[in-house]
Chain A
Amino acid sequence: MSSLTKQQESKKWYLSKIDPFLEHLNSDKNTCVKEFRDLGLEKMNKLDFPTLKDEEWKYTNISPILQHNFEPALLTALQETDEKEVAKHLFKDFDFHKIVFVNGVFNSDLSSLGELPSGVAAGNLRSLIHSHPEIVKEYLNKNSDDDNFFNAMNSACTYDGFALYVPEGKHVEKPFQLLFLNGNSSVKVLSQPRNLLVLGGRSSAKVIASYQGLGSNEYLSNIVTEIYLGEEAVLDFYKVQNESVNAFHINKTQAFQSRGSVFSHYSISFGSKIARNDINSVLKGTNCECNLYGIYLSNEQQHIDNHTFVDHASPNCVSNELYKGILDDESRGVFNGKIMVRKDAQKTNAYQSNKSVLLSGTARIDTKPQLEIYADDVRCTHGATIGQLDETSLFYLRSRGISSEIAKSMLIRAFAFDVIDSVKIPEIREQIHTLIFEHLHREIIKND
């Protein structure tokens, strides 16, 4: 009973923050997204925070998040940060367009966009609302639904975030590196970026989105990313979640794929106390390809929940999914992968695999790979395995003079290999490896 009250209390708190938030918007208040914010608010009123009784939240208890009342970033004093801090979190040794957000709000001083092909609009949503209202109106929230209170709250507070518009036939060669720095030393802050990516027909782009923590104060990142791919568009999207240990991270990424488009999403989750990551793609056109790769590693008392949903709504599409988890200490991992093949989606080829290793006696994993299939001419396969590092391999390495600690690191690296190897930017690959070992407090294996 008391937890129910807590749910309602929290809901009341966040609803009470909407008016002050809107007041703060000034000239941004009555733009083309106003209507859309109102809809979000409506949904907020209707929905409640999820509980363990919701099938989709069966293994993730959000009550620790509700223990805090997080303050919308716009209503708090700006968190100071500098180039040095930014440099600490960036992936290095390659060229990129740099875009930095602090608590979900664009920071132009720390960003350097560089040159872009003509017609490409990239930067923050707030600017895009002013420069390309027609694009925002056409795509924002058109292919995504506010499934839960968190999503609705993000919609109701739509203000800023990453925005990208690539017109038909344009290719952005250099990747965008987005850095979302979150946290505020003086207040428990709520950061709610709204990201919108629209790729026209036969265009392409690469995006690296890193969510990183500033300081040790609690904060909540509540993100919604919407992706629209036109016909034959190609997008590689790398999401790196490395929030601070006291942070909470709730993310929903919704992609919409037109005919022949290729969407590759890489989810790399290290950080936060509780993380919930929803990655969904609707394969709306024929001949689409959707690749979802994921690595999640947790230690201490972390809880990382990955939900994916690949919706085959058209014939002749291919989806590939590979998620791997490494769980240490008392941490918990959740994987819930759903593949839906709708009635007319004949000749679908869907593959899904989830593998986890438990490194400690107190770690725990709950896995639920699901197939829901309504078409007959399909090939769908899913598999899940759970185990520990292989004893025989461990002995083999040790018999070659390698310490048990390094041997374990090597086997962890080997376990993660096929996911990391699929990362197409080689410079990032090795840096991710390093992050993995740092996070697991294990010895770093030198690359060949």
Chain B
Amino acid sequence: MSEDMKIVEDLTQSEYKWGFVTDIEMDKAPNGLNEEIIRFISAKKNEPEWMTEWRLKAYRTWLKMAEPDWAKINYPKIDFQEISYYAAPVKKPQLNSMDEVDPALLETFEKLGIPLAERQRLAGVAVDAVFDSVSVATTFRETLAKEGIIFCSISEAIRNHPDLIKKYLGSVVPATDNYFAALNSAVFTDGSFVFIPKGVRCPMELSTYFRINAENTGQFERTLIVAEDDSYVSYLEGCTAPMRDSNQLHAAVVELVTLENAEIKYSTVQNWYPGDKEGKGGIYNFVTKRGMCRGKNSKISWTQVETGSAITWKYPSCVLAGENSIGEFYSIAVTNNFQQADTGTKMIHIGKNTRSTIISKGISAGKSNNSYRGLVKIGKKAENARNFSQCDSMLMGDKCGAHTFPYIEVENPSAKVEHEATTSKVGEDQIFYLNSRGIDTEDAVNMIVNGFCKEVFNVLPMEFAVEAQKLLAVSLEGSVG
């Protein structure tokens, strides 16, 4: 309780505190998108020819696609020729040790609470830090290598582990999947690659921290995690960006693959710059995240706390192909001011005895709109599939909107699908009760909101849960009374 209150106190006066800009010399591609730019990116990253071709193929697919308009979000048309698709700090040496990293970068990540220097590493968490288009540092690599675990930037993986990349990249989210996935496949610049070999339980949390810094750039990261038979990994992802008046595009693709008895737990705290109180600026966060439970008894669990971005458009999904496989989605999405979020999940049940759980908590404040959009599909062969979904929304103020759009498609009679949703506001009686115990209204609301989100906080890794609670309070600041 006192811990909670301290967090709340911490925050009552703060605004977006990750909004600073790092002054560092950048190597930036000219604005615009064409085959030449794609070759440029590929060349910058010393990619093999097959990868360049892979990108070009995706680009050609993208050209034929139309931007989707079905989500409940509004934004001016994006001019894809006005974006720079590559921006990297100039000094990009082959790092031998963390101490060779540009001090300006180390300082940046330190300021964000992600110390990369050897002696200050976060205990028990290995970090890959991505700054604009490139990975600048990955910690704990040797320790992990001893277990046979590969944790590196995806660029490195393309060069050093081409067989794994060829086998898995695009196997869950093909370039043809959707407009933004195609775009990402053409121009992605970096991201993380994780490979957990058979029988290995990853001894620490793996984490990637994404930072957008440069102006007028898009960040297109690509993450691929493969867990072989009987393996386990917990992966965390965090992100921030400077405060700018113009919107910036972030179009990521994340692919997860679990083989027999493997488990991936993927947690995100998304805190891109949401724009200011008038709705100016902020990140467009258009992301495709999907996991494939390929093996029997495998499990993929998505947990997300979405507080940032001007617009969020993402549906971390699970394809439950393996028998007895399990998919989970736990989400807290908070929108304030003019933020718009259209987020949810897809649970595609293909194999027998597959199970999925969806817990979604949406909180809308200010003039924001917050939608849950989800699909539960039980295929013909998914005998005894089970799904339970609960999508609760909370409204704070009468100028915001909370929406629920669940799609349920069932083609097998042995399925059991349950969906529940409620929408309510913070109860005046609850606030009064807490007031009468000496707690002021803002704190009371924070406590109630935290209680509302408890089921999701409970599944977050510890360090993240504290972080997430703090973020929640900041995001909702000034939304009451």
Are A386 and B400 neighbours in the complex by a CB distance under 8 Å? no
Does B412 count as interface, using CB distance less than 8 angstroms? yes
Segment with Cβ contacts to A, from B178-186, B273-281, B403-411:
B403-411
Distance in Å: Cβ of B365 to nearest Cβ of chain A? 9
Distance in Å: Cβ of A218 to nearest Cβ of chain B? 28
B residues 351-407 near A (Cβ < 8 Å) are 378, 393, 395-407
Are B404 and A358 neighbours in the complex by a CB distance under 8 Å? no
Are A371 and B398 neighbours in the complex by a CB distance under 8 Å? no
- Cβ contacts under 8 Å, A382 to chain B: 404, 419-421
Are B424 and A379 neighbours in the complex by a CB distance under 8 Å? yes
- Cβ contacts under 8 Å, B378 to chain A: 386
Are B397 and A376 neighbours in the complex by a CB distance under 8 Å? yes
Does A424 count as interface, using CB distance less than 8 angstroms? no
Does A388 count as interface, using CB distance less than 8 angstroms? yes
Are A346 and B401 neighbours in the complex by a CB distance under 8 Å? no
Does B75 count as interface, using CB distance less than 8 angstroms? no
Per-residue interface assignment for chain A, residues 368 to 388, with 1 indicating a CB less than 8 Å from any chain B CB and 0 otherwise = 111111111111111111111
Are A377 and B412 neighbours in the complex by a CB distance under 8 Å? no
Does B422 count as interface, using CB distance less than 8 angstroms? yes
Query: What secondary structure prevails in chain B residues at the interface with A?
Result: strand
In the complex, which residue of chain B has the Cβ closest to the Cβ of A387?
B416
Does A360 count as interface, using CB distance less than 8 angstroms? yes
B residues contacting the other copy or chain, number (CB 8 A): 34
- Cβ contacts under 8 Å, A381 to chain B: 420-423
Are A374 and B401 neighbours in the complex by a CB distance under 8 Å? yes
Are B406 and A386 neighbours in the complex by a CB distance under 8 Å? no
- Cβ contacts under 8 Å, A387 to chain B: 415-417
Complex Cα gap A360–B410 (Å): 12
- Cβ contacts under 8 Å, A358 to chain B: 410, 412-413, 415
A residues 101-136 near B (Cβ < 8 Å) are none
In the complex, which residue of chain A has the Cβ closest to the Cβ of B426?
A376
Are A378 and B408 neighbours in the complex by a CB distance under 8 Å? no
Does B70 count as interface, using CB distance less than 8 angstroms? yes
Are A361 and B413 neighbours in the complex by a CB distance under 8 Å? yes
Complex Cα gap A386–B387 (Å): 10
Does B418 count as interface, using CB distance less than 8 angstroms? yes
Distance in Å: Cβ of B49 to nearest Cβ of chain A? 38
Are B417 and A364 neighbours in the complex by a CB distance under 8 Å? no
Q: Of A366, A373, A388, which contacts B407 at CB under 8 A?
A: A366
In the complex, which residue of chain A has the Cβ closest to the Cβ of B411?
A364
Does A343 count as interface, using CB distance less than 8 angstroms? yes
Distance in Å: Cβ of A302 to nearest Cβ of chain B? 16
- Cβ contacts under 8 Å, B397 to chain A: 376
Q: Give B contacts to A, CB under 8 Å.
A: 70, 378, 393, 395-425
Can you list 25 residue pairs at the A/B interface with Cβ under 8 Å? A357-B413, A358-B415, A366-B410, A367-B410, A367-B419, A368-B405, A370-B404, A370-B406, A371-B403, A371-B404, A371-B423, A372-B401, A374-B400, A376-B397, A376-B425, A377-B398, A378-B395, A382-B419, A382-B421, A383-B419, A384-B406, A384-B417, A385-B417, A386-B378, A386-B410
Instruction: Kindly list the 8 A-B residue pairs having the minimum CB-CB distance in the complex, ordered from nearest.
Output: A358-B413, A376-B395, A367-B408, A380-B423, A371-B404, A386-B417, A384-B419, A376-B425
A343-B398, A376-B397, A384-B408 known; 19 new pairs, CB 8 Å cut-off, are A359-B413, A364-B410, A365-B410, A367-B419, A368-B405, A368-B407, A369-B406, A370-B405, A371-B402, A371-B423, A373-B402, A373-B403, A373-B423, A378-B423, A384-B406, A384-B417, A386-B410, A388-B413, A388-B416
